[in-house]
Each structure stands twice: as C-alpha cells, then as structure tokens.
Amino acid sequence: IDKYKNIIECKKTDARVDKESSWGKFCEEFNSTSTYCVRTIPQLKLFWKNSKLRAKRNSSLVRRQRVQTGGGPPTEPDEFAEKIEALIPSQIKPLQNPYDDDATLDL
C-alpha cells in the first residue's frame, strides 16, 4: 500500500476517482502476488481501515504507558502497527503544542 498511500489517504474530495482507480490497481497487484485466496476491494479497504485503527490504539497505549508510574517491564512493540505508523505518521502522532503541560522545556 506504500505505493498508493498518497492517493488513498488524500483528504481532498476531488480525489475520489483517483482513489477508486488506485484501490483497483492495488487490488490487482495484491491478488497477483497472493497464492492463497483472492481479496476484493471492499475487503482490502476494511483491512486497511482496521490496520490503521490497530496502529492508533497501539500508539496510544505506548504513550499512556510511558507516562504511567509504577515501573514494570515495557510492553512488547507491535511490529505491524509500527509499519503502519511509518506509512501514516500525521494521522497517528499527536500535534505538538509548546504550551501543553507535558511539553519539554528548553532552557
């Protein structure tokens, strides 16, 4: 999906035609490499949506555990979620606010 991420994740409303054609191309490429079964466009869209949700949840969990007190071992990283996060960092990482109470101070 890395090849089509700029079109698929585009928020412009006039990109609908490009998105549908990109999903079609991605579906063809995916099914040409798959030896197990053939996936449809709605199935791939649902998988992408669920993958993004999983990555967002994982990122949120890691952030919460980082500020949590009590110590303990850190959670194991979810490699798949990290790959998704690398594809769409603007949707997962929170916006930086220098006036936030947990911002770092540069003295």
Domain residue limits, the chain: 2-91
Quote the tokens at residue 40: 């449809």
Instruction: Please write the tens of the pLDDT for every residue from 56-88.
Output: 888 888 878 777 766 677 777 788 888 888 888
The alpha-helical segments, DSSP class H, found in 9-98 are 16-33, 41-67, 79-87, 89-92
Task: Provide φ and ψ at 53, rounded to 5°.
Answer: -65, -40
Q: How far is CA 91 from the centre of its chain?
A: 7
For the whole model, what pTM was predicted? 0.71
| Band of residue 27 on the pLDDT scale cut at 50, 70, 90 | very high
Angle subtended at Cα 9 by Cα 11 and Cα 87, rounded to the nearest 5 degrees: 140
Alpha carbons 37 and 44: distance in angstroms, whole number:
12
pLDDT, greater one: 104 or 7: 7
| Band of residue 40 on the pLDDT scale cut at 50, 70, 90 | very high
